[in-house]
Amino acid sequence: MAEAAVLSTGSAAAPSRRRRSWVPYALLLPGLLWLVVFFVLPMVTLASQSLQEGNVDDGYVFTGNVGIYVDALQQYWPQYVRSLVYAGTATVLALLLGYPLAYFIAQKAGRYKNLILVLVIAPFFTSFLIRTLAWRTILSDDWFVTEWAQKLHITDFLQAVGLTSNDSLLSSKFAVIMGLTYNFLPFMILPLYTSLERLDPRLIEAAGDLYASAWQTFRRVTWPLSLPGVVAGTLLTFIPAAGDFINARLLGNTQTTMIGSVIDSQFLRVLDYPLAAALSFILLIIIVTMVSVYVRRAGTEELL
Amino acid sequence: MMAGQEKGDLSLVALTKSFATFTAVHPLDLTIPQGSFFALLGPSGCGKTTTLRMIAGLEEPSGGRIHIGDTDITETRAYQRNVNTVFQSYALFPHMSVMDNVMFGLRRRGDKNAKAKAGEILELVQLGQVADKKPTQLSGGMQQRVALARALVNRPDVLLLDEPLGALDLKLRRQMQMELKRIQQEVGLTFIHVTHDQEEAMTMADSIAVMNAGRIEQLGDPATLYEQPRSTFVANFLGQSNLVRAQVNPGGTDRIVTVRVHDTDLEVSREHLPYGVDDVWLGVRPEKLRLGEAGGPNQLRGIVRDVSFSGVATQYAVEMPWGQELIVVQQNDGSARAVLGETVSVSWAAHHGFALDASQDAAAGAELVEDHG
Ligand SMILES: Nc1ncnc2c1ncn2[C@@H]1O[C@H](COP(=O)(O)OP(=O)(O)OP(=O)(O)O)[C@@H](O)[C@H]1O
Ligand SMILES: [Mg+2]
């Protein structure tokens, strides 16, 4: 009887396996199509546009003008560097702020877990623009935050380290970085939360049982096991922050322009499409390169 | 028990743990000699894990002290105690190789020979060939041995094992029991082994504490616990017992006392009788009962109501005139077998009986036994 059962499943499995083999690809089709239409095609258009010459009134012709990339880099490298530095700083700040919070929500919050998670996501219920505008109010000169910061000599300190240029908080590097950190913090917290939530508290007990102090337990057990969340969170924060132009425009000054603002104005105000396309492409290449190096490095550290 | 503290004896003094509304461990006094294999046996929820966690430093006692030798370790943190735990769930670090798992404790204490020691202990648990694998790539039994090696390699004063064999199938479990016992004898550390499997406790331990509802019911070596249980809970939890209601007759000799069971006088050793109690449960283990006339004074007649043959032995249920059924287990050693409905005599030697205070519930602990062989 057992033999018969084996035989019948064996013969039934053969055709169904063949049929199953192309089903996954069929299911992928809508997604692939979506990628082609909304990612590959715009990418190709952008690449070709960057190599065109002309103006809006007379139209553009493809001339293969590679020199525009050299011009773009020469003219705008400070904005690139600034974008990467600001985004990097905001990412580190978001990690420092987000990690303890995510750890608390995942491991200690008990029945308040869902409530706190909702509070983390709550700012998303209003628009990005409104939230950033709110920071203009918060950091404005006639608001108590600035007043207190002045009384406590925080403004002096910020000025001394070059994050602000006078004794107000708004329209400064400081304000831009704060805005970036604030706006992308939830993108850091949520992936961190997911990986810390999966962390088995018994592993932490086991580490303590095996003579690891609280710091050693964090360093050897908690941190390595949360790395997937750290990698995901830093990417989700860094990538959009590097291309952001709202924070720099609303909270910064002419000395804090990020590359996103440059691209924005080249596209929409100056209408220099080839330059804007080249600038976008350079940003894309920089980010892809940095991300792949980063993921490679982080990935080798035993991500399970 | 108060014969002075040996260098590494573990002693618990009035150790207590209460949760918000519930006392999990009532004041507990216990001394476990260095180098012994000690089993903590009891039904689910009786406070075994809580007791271990207090010893390990993972749970803060509500009261009482913990000493190892002359040192009071009650106030120290888990990582400062020279005590290691083999967790029920193993709790192996999934991002580290087997080797790194085993070296974890040694590394934290800055041991320069970590690698050599870990290699040695992995050989002892026969896992040398999988040192570079991740724990998730191993079978349950192998993971269990990694957990054991990871704790053992630190040579702690006390090794705590919280039902480490719970997840294994019967065959592997028996094999690991023997291995654990062998390793314990080889390295000579104090083992405290928590289990709710009475057979496991009896085969492995030098002494057993039977725990019930946060209290220790009885403490002793396996044979004493089995032959002379002091409560109905122990009598039922550790193997099976026939308990018959009896009244103690006045008088008797130094060695023998008679008790009256439904108009029959039966003998029991005086040392097996609690002092100053008249109303008792007379207990006899099923394998101590014989079918047929043995000529002694301890004899009851009844009708065979059930016969079940299990290869090495046959188990009978014999109904007494007052309705109670006694369980008799007879080795299949060629002696005559009884048949269903037959009227038989059941007899036993006086020193095989034990008497327990009748104020206890005769069925205590019986319903909790999980592993009746
Ligand atoms: N953190 C806690 N809060 C409240 N009650 C607890 C807590 N931990 C354990 N208990 C209770 O304490 C009692 C003893 O628990 P413990 O885990 O020590 O049992 P156990 O003997 O190890 O049982 P098992 O054999 O099922 O593992 C249980 O009734 C349990 O519900
Ligand atoms: Mg337990």
| A46, two tokens | 């952008």
Nearest C-alpha to atom 6 of ligand 1 is from which residue? B19
Q: Is A208 within 8 Å of B57 when comparing Cβ atoms?
A: yes
Which residues of chain A does B77 touch, with a Cβ-Cβ cutoff of 8 Å? 208
Point out the ligand 1 atom lying closest to the alpha carbon of residue B51.
18
Where b means 16+ CB within 10 Å and e means fewer, B267-304 reads bbbeebbeeeeeebbbbbbbbbbbbeeeeeebbbebbb
The Cα–Cα gap between A229 and A195 comes to: 5
Q: What are phi and psi of B38, to 5 degrees?
A: -110, 130
CATH number, domain with residue A172: 1.10.3720.10
CB neighbours (10 Å) of residue B32? 24
Q: How many CB pairs under 8 A join A and B?
A: 64
- pLDDT of the residue at A94: 96
Q: Do domains B10-226 and B240-354 have the same CATH topology?
A: no
Q: What string of H, E and C letters represents the secondary structure of chain A?
A: CHHHHHHHHHHHHHHHHHHHHHHHHHHHHHHHHHHHHHHHHHHHHHHHHHCEEEECCCEEEECCCCHHHHHHHHHHHHHHHHHHHHHHHHHHHHHHHHHHHHHHHHHHCHHHHHHHHHHHHHHHHCCHHHHHHHHHHHCCCCCHHHHHHHHCCHHHHHHHCCCCCCCCCCCCHHHHHHHHHHHHHHHHHHHHHHHHHCCCHHHHHHHHHCCCCHHHHHHHHHHHHHHHHHHHHHHHHHHHHHHCCHHHHHHCCHHHCCHHHHHHHHHHHHCCHHHHHHHHHHHHHHHHHHHHHHHHHHHCCCCC
What string of pLDDT tens digits covers the 373 residues of chain B?
344 445 789 999 999 999 988 999 999 999 999 999 999 999 988 999 999 999 999 999 999 999 998 899 999 998 899 999 999 889 999 999 999 999 999 999 999 999 999 999 998 888 899 999 999 999 888 898 899 899 989 989 899 999 888 777 788 788 888 888 888 888 888 999 998 888 889 989 999 999 999 999 999 999 999 999 999 999 998 888 999 999 998 887 888 888 988 888 889 988 888 888 888 999 999 999 988 877 778 889 999 999 999 888 999 999 999 889 999 999 988 877 888 988 999 999 888 999 998 888 878 877 766 544 3
Whole-number pLDDT of residue A101:
95
How much is the pLDDT for B369? 61
Return d(Cα A44, Cα A50) in angstroms, integer: 10
Tokens for A79, please give them: 């904005």
Query: Smallest Cβ distance to B58: which of A205, A224, A304?
Result: A205
Q: For ligand 1, atom 27, which residue shows the shortest CA distance?
A: B44
Going by CA atoms, what residue is nearest to atom 29 of ligand 1?
B45
CA of A303 to the centre of ligand 2 (A): 31
CA distances B197 to B28, B163, B221, B238, Å, are 22, 9, 16, 9
Tracing tokens 């939890």 back to the chain, one arrives at B237
Compare CB distances from B79 to A208, A221, A224 and report the shortest one's residue: A208
Contacts of A203 in chain B (CB under 8 A): 91, 93-94
3-class state of residue B285 by DSSP: coil
d(C-alpha B312, C-alpha B230), whole Å: 29
Three-state DSSP at B263 gives: coil
The reply to whether B94 touches chain A by the CB within 8 Å rule is yes
Task: Confirm or reject contact between B137 and chain A (CB < 8 A).
Answer: no
CA distance A203 to chain B (A): 5
Cβ(B192)–Cβ(B160) under 8 Å?
yes
Cα angle A29, A31, A37 (rounded to 5 degrees) comes to: 100
**B273 alpha carbon – ligand 2 mean position (Å):** 34
Residue at token pair 């913990």: B66
* Amino acid at the residue B115: K
Establish if A49 belongs to a structural domain: no
CA of A228 vs chain B CAs: smallest distance (Å): 12
- Chosen from B101, B108, B137 to mutate, greatest number of chain A CBs within 10 A: B108
Region label for B342, one of left (φ > 0), alpha (ψ between -120 and 50) or beta (otherwise): beta
Contact A111, A177 (CB under 8 A): no
CB of B109 less than 8 A from some CB of A: yes
* CB-closest option in B57, B77, B87 to A206: B87
Which of B81, B83, B90, B104 would best serve as a mutation to test chain A binding (most A beta carbons within 10 A)?
B104
Summarize pLDDT for B177-227 with one digit per residue, the tens.
888 888 888 888 899 999 888 888 998 999 999 999 999 999 999 999 999
Q: Does A211 touch chain B (CB under 8 A)?
A: yes
Q: Which atom of ligand 1 is nearest to the CA of B211?
A: 21
Q: Which residues contact B1 (CB under 8 A, 6 or more apart)?
A: B31
Edge-to-edge order in the sheet of strand B10-19: B22-32, B10-19, B63-68, B71-72
Report pLDDT for B129: 93
Element (H, E) at B191: strand B190-195
Q: Which atom of ligand 1 is nearest to the CA of B48?
A: 21
Tell me the residue range of the domain where A79 lies.
70-303
Written as six digits, the tokens of A155 are 């403004």
Q: What is the pLDDT of residue A20?
A: 65
How long, in residues, is chain B? 373
At residue A112, what are phi and psi to the nearest 5 degrees?
-90, 0
pLDDT of residue B183: 84
Compute the distance from residue B54 Cα to the ligand 1 centre, in Å. 12
- Closest atom of ligand 1 to B214 CA is 14
Looking at residue B337, the DSSP 8-state letter turns out to be: P
- Position B88 scores a pLDDT of 85
Specify the ligand 1 atom closest to the Cα of B22. 5
Which tokens belong to A141? 């000169």
Q: Which residues line ligand 1 (CB under 6 A)?
A: B 19, 22, 24, 42, 44-50, 196
Q: Report the pLDDT value the prediction gives residue A99, as an integer from 0 to 100.
A: 96
Rounded CA-CA distance A286/A259 in Å is 12
For residue B343, the cross-strand partners are: B303
| Own/partner pairs, A60-64, CB within 8 angstroms, 24+ separation | A60/A273, A60/A274
Measured in angstroms, how far is the CA atom of residue A147 from the centroid of ligand 2? 58
Chain A hits for B150, Cβ within 8 Å: 210
**Ligand 1 atom nearest to B194, measured from its CA:** 22
Structural domains counted in chain A? 1
Ligand 1 pocket: which of B40, B48, B59 to mutate (most atoms <8 Å of CB)?
B48
For CA atoms B25, B29, B34, B37, give the dihedral sign. Answer: negative
Task: Please classify residue B343 by burial: count the beta carbons closer than 10 Å to its beta carbon, then call 0-12 exposed, 13-18 middle and 19+ buried.
Answer: exposed
Distance CA A76, CA A81 (A): 9
Interchain CB distance below 8 Å, A212 and B150 = no
What is residue A100's predicted lDDT score, i.e. its pLDDT?
A: 96
Using an 8 Å CB-CB cutoff, list chain B residues near A206: 85, 87, 91-93
In terms of C-beta density within 10 A (0-12 exposed, 13-18 middle, 19 or more buried), how is residue A28 classed? exposed
B93 and A202 within 8 Å at the Cβ level: the answer is: no
What's the confidence (pLDDT) of residue B2?
Answer: 42
Domain boundaries, chain B: 10-226, 240-354
pLDDT in tens, B334-351: 877 888 988 999 999 888
Distance from the alpha carbon of residue B346 to the mean position of ligand 1, in angstroms: 43
Round the CA-based radius of gyration of chain B to a whole number and report it: 24
Write the residue in B58, B95, B109 that is nearest to A209 by C-beta: B58
Instruction: Out of B49, B212, B217, give the residue to mutate to test ligand 1, the one with the largest number of ligand atoms within 8 Å of its CB.
Output: B49
| Tokens matching residue B209 | 């504490």
Does a structural domain hold residue A132?
Answer: yes
Superfamily of domain B10-226: P-loop containing nucleotide triphosphate hydrolases (3.40.50.300)
In a domain, A162, yes or no: yes
**What's the A255 CA to ligand 1 centre distance in angstroms?**
63
Is residue B283 helix, strand or coil? Answer: strand
In a domain, A44, yes or no: no
Q: What's the rounded Cα separation, in Å, for the pair B122 and B245?
A: 55
Residue B293 is classified by DSSP as -
Question: How far is Cα A257 from Cα A245, in angstroms, rounded to an integer?
Answer: 8
User: For chain B, how far is it from start to end, CA to CA, in angstroms?
Assistant: 34
Question: What is the pLDDT, as a whole number, of residue A196?
Answer: 94
Instruction: Give the number of other CB atoms < 10 A from CB of residue A21.
Output: 9
Distance from CA of A1 to the nearest CA of B (A): 28
Angstrom distance (rounded) from CA B243 to CA B362? 7
Whole-number Å distance, alpha carbon B339 to ligand 1 midpoint, is: 47
- Residue A218 half-sphere exposure toward CB, CA atoms < 13 A: 5
Which chain B residue is nearest to residue A208, measuring alpha carbons?
B79
Tens-digit pLDDT profile for chain A (304 aa)?
A: 344 444 444 444 445 555 567 888 888 898 889 988 898 998 898 888 889 888 878 888 888 888 889 989 999 999 999 999 999 999 999 999 999 999 999 999 888 999 999 999 888 888 889 999 999 988 888 888 888 888 888 888 888 888 888 878 888 889 999 999 999 999 999 999 999 999 999 999 999 999 999 999 999 999 999 999 999 999 999 999 999 999 988 998 888 889 999 999 888 888 888 999 999 999 999 999 998 888 888 764 444 4
d(CA A240, CA B360): 72
Exposure string of B137-175, with b = 16+ CB inside 10 Å and e = fewer, is ebeebbbbbbbbbbbbbbbbbbbbbbbbbeebeeebbee
Sign of the C-alpha dihedral computed for residues A78, A83, A84 and A90 taken in this order: positive
Whether chain A has a CB inside 8 Å of the CB on B91: the answer is: yes
Distance between CA B195 and CA B43 in Å, rounded? 9
**The whole model's pTM is what?**
0.79
Question: Domain B240-354's class?
Answer: mainly beta
